[in-house]
Amino acid sequence: PQYATTAFLKGLKQVDGWHDMPLTQAAQTVQVSAYPDAYAQWEQQAADLVGQYWNS
């Protein structure tokens, strides 16, 4: 998980305007998935995890 997270964040930083994109669009820009809409199903769970562990 640490490597995958670090690699994803490194790629995300290369995307101009990612702060203003919907989460699914930003993820798709980095991951280039064949199923770009698949990210949406995990959005709430990801937000919950970040909220729970970000500053713990």
pLDDT band at 56 (very low <50, low <70, confident <90, very high): low
Q: Would you tell me how many other CB atoms lie within 10 Å of the CB of residue 56? A: 4
List of residues 6+ apart from 26 with CB closer than 8 A: 12, 15, 18
User: pTM to 2 decimals?
Assistant: 0.71
pLDDT band at 41 (very low <50, low <70, confident <90, very high): very high
Q: Does the structure show a pLDDT above 70 at 37?
A: yes
